[in-house]
Amino acid sequence: MSKHRTARTSTGRGGRFALVVLVLAVLCGLVAAYLVYRKPSAEPRPVPAAPAREESVVVEDFSEAGLPDGWKAVEGDWKVEDGRLVGVPDGDGRPNRIVFGRHLTDFRLETTVRFAEVGGPGGAAPWVALGLDVPASGTAPWAAGLLRGGATPGFLEFARRTPGREAWDVTDKSVLPAVVGTDRDVRLAVEVRGTRARWFFDGREALRTTRVSRTADGGQALLVDGARVSFDDVRVAKVTENALLRPPGSPMAVIGHRGASSAAPENTLMSDEVARRGGAEWIENDVQPSKDGVPYVLHDPEVDRTTDGTGLIRSLTAAEVDALDAGSWFGPAYAGARVPTLAAQLDDLRKRGGNMLLEIKGRHSRAEVARIVEEVRDHGMADRVVVQSFDTEALKHTRELAPELPLGLLRAKLDPDPVAVARELGLSAYNPLATELLARPDVVKDLHAAGVAVMVWTVDDATHWSALEPLGTDGVITNRPAELSGWNAGRLHSPR
Ligand code: G3P
Ligand code: CA
């Protein structure tokens, strides 16, 4: 009995022991599972999904007989044959065209093109064009991207056609990367972002413009002359991503630092013109107010280094700044250049083309920032200006006062988490010192995944351009914009 009791007693202790072991095992399992599946705090935050790049508006493969709904032939003979749209010139000297689509500010128009027969009535030179902003009536004004083929080597152009003028005003031109000839399909695309556009030939950017003339309601079109041309797979997509991100197939954006400051006196309209002619699509500047609150374009706090005057710009009246010579220090040929007001620089860019990377230089009050954004709005340049600063307060003021203006943050040191900073400030661009970015190249991928562009400063040599380009860097702020444009062009014409 005692034995039995003992045995019973022994069995009871063993059961409790087993229960304790079981509970401990379950607890250990739960702890282990937690340790395995939890995200360690040191692990980087997950990269969010990239925002959608585009939204289709027209997708047409000409699989049905007859012209698609909404397509209207204006000039020439247009028909669907063997699953392609065929445009046949009528030889009357006016561009043959078919209109379709709808008005879009930011979009991509692409199609496959084949020159079938070159020559025909009227003996016009063969060309094809993608109409970028063409009224539904098909009457001028138009903006278009032209491919002049049939010749060797041929050209790409951006051009406009104005009412009453039977000719193209060509704003930008480049040599075709390859001979098109006849009976060969080439994939052509133009991506338009407001007044900016990029021409893509077989997936690679071949030409840019900052001077697309826009209307309030023009849609898309295809145009031909001097050749029977067929088209397939026409697509129009509204591009919704951040316009500062570099599209696939595009080289890095060229941003002239203080204009073209290696070749002309910095932060002058002469410097801007040299940069523009050298291929800069953006002009970087530095903005600070005079004593009486007029925003001027000047880098240093004092006028001494870059003018014939002396003293802090904040201690000089607008009349005193206007009297300074900002060119002689650079070279006698530039004597008489002025320190431009921000208003004058905006006006110049609006008339001559180009975009502004406007740096609010140094600490600014909210009222001073308000004056800057007022100038941008008054000059109708809100869609062609990005505001950047080292000063986060200036960016916060800008965001409150002008939420339509994209913002860039300048950094001499990378933040531990640039994506978090970009989100907090509502940035479109995070703009670090190039050497900082090269030390942490993954930052580009993280920022891109969050929809934020990366524009580095200030890089003047091809060795660094070569290192920055494959990282996905969107733009380079450089004192040598013409050289960077040439470097970009050289890569376009090199083998893939
Ligand atoms: O835009 C970048 C660069 O301009 C920042 O430095 O001194 O030239 O204004 P800093
Ligand atoms: Ca600057």
DSSP letter at 419 equals H
Which residue's structure tokens are 């030409």? Answer: 207
Please determine, for residue 22, whether its predicted confidence score (pLDDT) is greater than 90: no
What is the pLDDT averaged over residues 204-220?
93
* 361 Cα: distance to centroid of ligand 1 (angstroms): 9
Counting residues of the chain whose pLDDT is more than 90, the rounded percentage is 76
pLDDT interval class at 177 (50, 70, 90): confident
Q: Specify whether the CB–CB gap between 345 and 381 falls below 8 A.
A: no
Residue 358 has pLDDT above 90, yes or no: yes
In this structure, of 11-20, 55-64, 394-403, 467-476, the range with the lowest mean pLDDT score is 11-20
For residue 409, report the distance from its CA to the centre of ligand 2, in Å: 12
Q: At what angle do helices 366-378 and 392-401 cross, to 10 degrees?
A: 50
The pLDDT value recorded for residue 179 is 83
| Fold of the domain spanning 253-492 | TIM Barrel (3.20.20)
Same fold, 54-239 and 253-492: no
Buried b or exposed e, range 314-352, using 16+ CB within 10 angstroms: bebebebbbebbbbbbbeeebeebbbbbbbbbbbbbeee
Residue with structure tokens 């570099």?
246
- CA proximity to 149, closest of 125, 171, 168: 125
Q: How far, in Å, from the CA of 287 to the mean position of ligand 2? A: 9
Topology of the domain covering 54-239: Jelly Rolls (2.60.120)
- pLDDT, tens digit (0-9, with 9 covering 90-100), for 267-276: 999 999 999 9
Report the pLDDT value the prediction gives residue 495, as an integer from 0 to 100.
63
pLDDT in tens, 374-402: 999 999 999 999 999 999 999 999 999 99
For the CA of 300, the nearest ligand: 1
pLDDT tens-place string over residues 61-73: 999 999 999 999 9
Mutate to test the pocket of ligand 1, among 288, 306, 457, 473 (most ligand atoms within 8 A of CB): 457
| Residues near ligand 1 (Cβ within 6 A) | 257, 284, 286, 299, 359, 410, 457-458, 477
> Band of the pLDDT at 410, cuts 50, 70, 90?
very high
pLDDT confidence of 121, banded at 50, 70, 90?
low
Q: Note the pTM of the prediction, 2 decimals.
A: 0.82
Mean pLDDT is lowest, of 160-164, 344-348, 362-366, for 160-164
Mutate to test the pocket of ligand 1, among 261, 262, 299 (most ligand atoms within 8 A of CB): 299
Spatial CA neighbour of 92 closest among 47, 122, 125: 122
257 vs 116: which has the higher pLDDT: 257
- Averaged pLDDT for residues 321-334: 98
Q: Which residue's alpha carbon is nearest to atom 2 within ligand 1?
A: 457
Asked if the model's pLDDT at residue 356 lies above 80, the reply is yes
Residue 340 has pLDDT above 60, yes or no: yes
Sign of CA dihedral 248, 205, 242, 414: positive
Q: What's the chain's average pLDDT? A: 89
Residue 151 pLDDT > 60, yes or no? no
Least confident of 204-208, 280-284, 327-331: 204-208
- Taking CA atoms only, the protein residue closest to ligand 1 atom 3 is 457
Q: What is the distance, to the nearest Å, from the Cα of residue 191 to the centroid of all Cα atoms in its chain? A: 10
What is the per-residue pLDDT for 9? 33
Backbone φ/ψ region at 249: left (φ over 0), alpha (ψ -120 to 50), beta: left
Distance 254 CA to ligand 1 centre (A): 15
Do residues 373 and 395 lie in contact, with contact meaning Cβ atoms separated by under 8 Å? Answer: no
**Considering every ligand atom, which ligand is closest to the CA of 432?**
1
Return the pLDDT at 48: 41
Which SS3 state, helix, strand or coil, does residue 116 take? strand
Return the axis-axis angle of helices 442-449 and 418-425, rounded to nearest 10°: 30
Looking at all shown ligands, the one closest to residue 408's CA atom is 1
Pocket test of ligand 1: the residue of 407, 458, 473 to mutate, having most ligand atoms within 8 Å of its CB, is 458
- Exposed/middle/buried for residue 132 (C-beta within 10 Å: 0-12, 13-18, 19+): buried
pLDDT for 167 equals: 86
Atom of ligand 1 nearest to the CA of 357: 1
Q: Whose CA is nearest to atom 10 of ligand 1?
A: 299
Of 65-79, 106-120, 301-315, which range is least confident? Answer: 106-120
For the chain, the structural domain boundaries read: 54-239, 253-492
pLDDT at 44: 37
- Looking at ligand 1, which atom is closest to the CA of residue 284? 1
* Residue 20: per-residue pLDDT: 52
Please tell me the distance from the alpha carbon of residue 413 to that of residue 334, in angstroms, as a whole number. Answer: 36
Q: Say if residue 243's pLDDT is above 90.
A: yes
pLDDT greater at residue 178 or residue 134 = 134
Please identify, by atom number, the ligand 1 atom nearest to the C-alpha of residue 286: 9
